[in-house]
Every structure is written in C-alpha cells, then in structure tokens.
Amino acid sequence: MRSLVFFLGAWCRAGGPRRVAAHCSLWLAGLLLALPAAAAPSKLVVVGDSLSAEYGLPRGSGWVALLSQRMAREKLPYEVINASISGDTTAGGRARLPALLKAQSPQVVVIELGGNDALRGLPLAQTRDNLIAMVKAARTAGAKVLLAGMQVPPNYGRQYTADFSRTFEDVAKAERVALVPFLLQGVADRPDAEDWFQSDRIHPVAKAHPIILDNVWPVLRGLLR
C-alpha cells in the first residue's frame, strides 16, 4: 500500500493525465488515511532501587540500560522506562506505582525492591504486603509482572536470611507472577565477590551488570509478546 501511494504521488508530480491529475490530491489523501498507523512501542517499566538506578556507575552501563540495548538488537518493540530510585523501599515503590501505571500504561512491570527494607530492619510482613500490593496494582492495570528476588548476607542471621529470601518466593507463588530468585546470582555468591562490588560492598560495579541482565533475561523474555 505504501509503495502504491509513493508511485501515485510521483506520477501526479510528473503531470499524469489531466483527468487523473485533477483528482490526485483526493486519491492520495484517501490512500494515506487507509494506511495503518505505525504501532506505538509497548512499555516496560522497572520499579527498583539503586541496583537498577545505576548508582555509582557510568550512565548507560547498568542492567536496565543494557536491557534496552538488547531489546533493540533483537528488534523487540519495547520502550524501557527506568523508574528506579536509589534508596527506595517497597513502601516507596508502592506509593509511587499508581502514578507510574497511569502515566505509562505499561505492558510489563519489573519490581526490584526489598533490599533497602532489609538494610533498614523493616518487618518482613510489611515488605511482603507492599510487594503483593504492587503486583496486584500492576496486574489490575493490565501489566504482566516480574518480581526480582533478593538475598541478604549471612551476618543477618540464618533465620532472617532464609525468611527474607522466602518472602519473594511466597509472593511470586501466591500471586502467580514470574520470579528471578536472586538478582545478584553469579555476582554476590562468587569467590572473588569483593572484586565485583563498589567500595561500599553493596552496589555491583559495571562489569557485574551484564550478569545481572543475564539473570533477568530468561524469565523476562517469556513475558514479552
């Protein structure tokens, strides 16, 4: 259809038969209206904390930016929106998610929150309730959800460490959403882990972020149309 429009346009400009030329503008207008509108890209929103907000990293080197680049290479029609804020908690994400959903109307929402809840010693029940509320809000808005799980170091105590990790599993199972069990797998649990973190021992360096993306991608790929 588009090639036909271009051909007729060139013919008209070249001076086609008088009877045809008189109606060229009407024909072209009608044909252009008949063309299908270019489809707007779907949207994927990442609601996270400093692990997704490129804290301490050169711009464009974090896993969310790498995700956008991978989607472009694979010609997946998604716009990746990084709505992550350093220091954010599940309560903060829960509070700001409704406005994000209304403004962006995403098809996919990635929730990467919970680590700062642990750092602040917030009750696990509160973390769980906030995550569930975010999942429900995103699904009510028509989005598919991926939950990124997190773990804490053993110095938090065996019971708390196990309970914290299980919180993400329980939410994903109860709400039937996709789960990345441990976002930092292959980074935080490697023998030379100290070489893969910034001086604060909390935030991964740039070379770790392709690994983080590789943790997310197999699960996320199944949610993409």
Active-site residues, by number, are: 50, 200, 203
Locate 31 and state its tokens.
């044909």
CB 109, CB 146: distance < 8 Å: yes
Other beta carbons within 10 angstroms of residue 5's beta carbon come to 16
* Residue 39 neighbours by CB distance under 10 Å: 7
Which structure tokens are listed for 115? Answer: 């680590």
SS3 at position 86 = coil
* Helices assigned H by DSSP within 60-186: 63-73, 90-104, 115-119, 124-140, 158-175
- How many other β-carbons are positioned within 10 Å of the β-carbon of residue 154? 9
